[in-house]
Amino acid sequence: MATASDFGRLQTSDNAAAAAIDWRQVAYKCLLSRAVDKLEEERLLKEKKILYQFSARGHELGQVLLGQLLDHRHDAASGYYRSRPFMLSLGLALEDAIAGPMMRSGSFSDGRDIGVVYNMPGHDAATVLPMSGGVGAQYTPVAGWAQSVLYHRDTLQDESWRGALAVALGGDASVATNGFWSALTIATTLQLPMLFFVEDNGYGISVTSDMQTPGRNIAANLESFSGLAIFDGDGTEARDAANAIASAIGQIRAGGGPALVRLTVPRLCGHSGQDTQAYKSEEQIAAERARDPLPKLRRFLVPNSLTATEWRDLENRANADVEGALESALARPLPDPTGITRFVFSERDEHGDIVMQQQGGLRPSGHDFGPATTEVATEPGRINLVTAVRRTLDAELARNARMMVFGEDVAAKGGVHAVTLGLAEKHGSDRVFDTSLSEEGIIGRSLGMAAAGLLPVPELQFRKYADPAEEQLNDCGTMRWRTANRFAAPMVVRVAGGFFKCGDPWHSQCNEVKWVHATGWQVAMPSNAEDAVGLLRFALRDNNPTIFFEHRNLLDLAWARRPYPGDDYVVPFGKAATLRQGSEISVITWGAMVPRCEAALQRVEADAELIDLRTLSPWDDETVLESVRRTRRCLIVHEDTLTAGFGAEIAARVADECFFDLDAPVRRLAVADVPSPHSPLLLDAVVPGEEDIAAAIGALCQV
């Protein structure tokens, strides 16, 4: 493994990439960042013009050097709350850098997100993926972009991606997170063009780095990690930092696989503007100040590359530019509160055209999805839901070269439920592939892939297994909203769950209400093979992220079998299916409760209307409310727990809008507030059965 000490003995000009560094520009951007931090710390925070302040003092040099070397049009990066010097180096407008934390309109979030988590769509320049407020959440999306580099280059045969790379910036505390280790596994096993850029200032807020990394040095600990080049240097020494960064980038661009650069830096400030650093001794603070990279950079450049006067002129220019940008930022209006609910989902204008995000998904590139119809094709025979999903994935993979299906066991095994059987052999291991056992990595990489213009279709084997990926799922759902439609990450996450022959707390959850409640996610729960085809195809062609729920009990259930409706068939989201019309009671349900409700209706004499919602986000409130107004009674049946299940939302809406139409109270029938039990006997005791549903219908109709 190479270390920065090997390169530190070289003159900067001996390294081709380092020799191209514009040191005057490096000095200016470092001084600019320092001036912005001073403005915020000494004025704007005290004046309450900003509410959260995160200084980068001490971190500037390495970040600015890194930004200057990301010169490929398909490079990408994601950082964290201390990454402003990097952003300035990449070309972030100074006015935006100041206006963002001040919550002014425009810029990278329009006042919706903390002003230190940046994003920057790539327009023939490096992309900055939307940063997250969560520590370590940046790593797996960057791995996804790095994997997309190889996919564009090798599978799509796009030579413009050759030599591109992806960089994740993080502090030393972030190397203790699941995201870091998941991304490290992905990058090294697949030999991705990815750079891990670790700025080690010795602290995670007040916690010292020995609590994050044994021996306080992640580079030393990873020296034996296979397939990873290590560069360990001093981020306050210009030559050392430049050679470490340039050497790592040069190796990656030449096809050498992933690398990690660790630069030691001082944190010349508290964790945030409110942090007094009372946990540091005066001696520690003095030692950190002695390592300030700016005086060191001045000594490196003056008088060999710059005169003292030129350095002073750069300093004066930076201060003047900051004052000018502040004046312009203050002139910007505050964000318009009337628009705060916009861009949760993809929107259309008054002409029906999509209000397109700048980056992410297939639609910004004008991708042609092919024909679509709501007309059911006639095909003899009936297929189960497993076959329906497989045939739909197969057809869309054949049509869409940018689509990938992946997850644990989806390739050689064909999925734990056999849904993807044979797809890897037919479409290739670059398009249908297995992943490491990390749901964080599966979903996180999907964000980077979607941002790179691909369509990821990740599989989570069971609903409970989504929990380790919850941070990435939440970041995906909020991406469009928190970037004010600059970025979106359309993807289809296939999730299996629900009871089968038995239950258990780990494989048999539905808990679909969590994702209905989550911002920005569509949720589809088909009850039969025909709907599975139409809903899945709609999701694969939509401009929003979707949870596609494949209920285990329906996968091969005879009731759920239907003729294949054709390779162009779609079912638009938000359109319920009325399976049976009636006049006495409306039964509202979805998923595996649909066949149970239909069977229950055979046990009662009531003239009941049966509605299968099919999708919960969006849900067809018009059909439900119209039905209840006619029947004057409503029963909602679902598999999630009774308390705070989605049935509660439906009941509230019905009570709110149909109160004077009702002849009986709105009733919900659902699972008791316990996890799914394993014993079939216990399972039957908590999940609504045909007799339970029939009894509830009969009781309501007697009111």
Q: Compute the half-sphere exposure of residue 414: CA atoms within 13 Å on the CB side of its CA.
A: 13
* Strands annotated E in 347-424: 403-407
Contact (Cβ atoms closer than 8 angstroms) between residue 587 and residue 608 = yes
Rounded Cα distance between 667 and 676, Å, is 22
Element (H, E) at 579: strand 577-580
CA distances from 215 to 174, 340, 578 (A): 15, 47, 64
Rounded Cα distance between 332 and 330, Å, is 5
Q: DSSP secondary structure string, 163-191?
A: T--EEEEEEGGGGGSHHHHHHHHHHHHHT
User: Residue 520, Cβ neighbours under 10 Å: how many?
Assistant: 24
Rounded Cα distance between 481 and 306, Å, is 45
Contact (Cβ atoms closer than 8 angstroms) between residue 443 and residue 471 = no
Maximum distance among all Cα pairs of the chain, rounded to whole angstroms: 96
Question: Which 3 state secondary structure label does DSSP give 684?
Answer: helix
Rounded Cα distance between 11 and 138, Å, is 33
- What angle do the packed helices 23-39 and 308-331 form, to 10 degrees? 50
Rounded Cα distance between 409 and 309, Å, is 64
Query: How would you class 367 by CB atoms within 10 Å of its CB: exposed for 0-12, middle for 13-18, buried for 19 or more?
Result: middle
Q: Write down how long the chain is.
A: 703
Rounded Cα distance between 304 and 245, Å, is 22
Query: How would you class 212 by CB atoms within 10 Å of its CB: exposed for 0-12, middle for 13-18, buried for 19 or more?
Result: buried
Helices and strands (H and E) in the chain: how many: 24, 20
User: Which amino acid belongs to residue 299?
Assistant: R
Active-site entry in 74, 271, 507, 551: 507
The residues, any chain, with a CB within 8 Å of residue 472's CB and separated by 6 or more, are: 137, 140, 141, 440, 443, 444, 446, 447
Rounded Cα distance between 599 and 698, Å, is 14
Q: 271 an active-site residue? A: no
Q: DSSP secondary structure string, 36-68?
A: HHHHIIIIITTTTS-S-----TT-HHHHHHHHH
Element (H, E) at 285: helix 282-290
Q: Using alpha carbons only, how large is the chain's radius of gyration in Å? A: 28
User: Pairing mode, if any, of strands 667-671 and 608-612?
Assistant: unpaired
CA distances from 363 to 82, 353, 400, 574 (A): 32, 12, 12, 21
Rounded Cα distance between 442 and 144, Å, is 9
The residues, any chain, with a CB within 8 Å of residue 552's CB and separated by 6 or more, are: 417, 496, 497, 498, 499, 500, 507, 508
Q: Which two tokens stand for residue 626?
A: 């119209």
Q: Which residues are catalytic?
A: 507
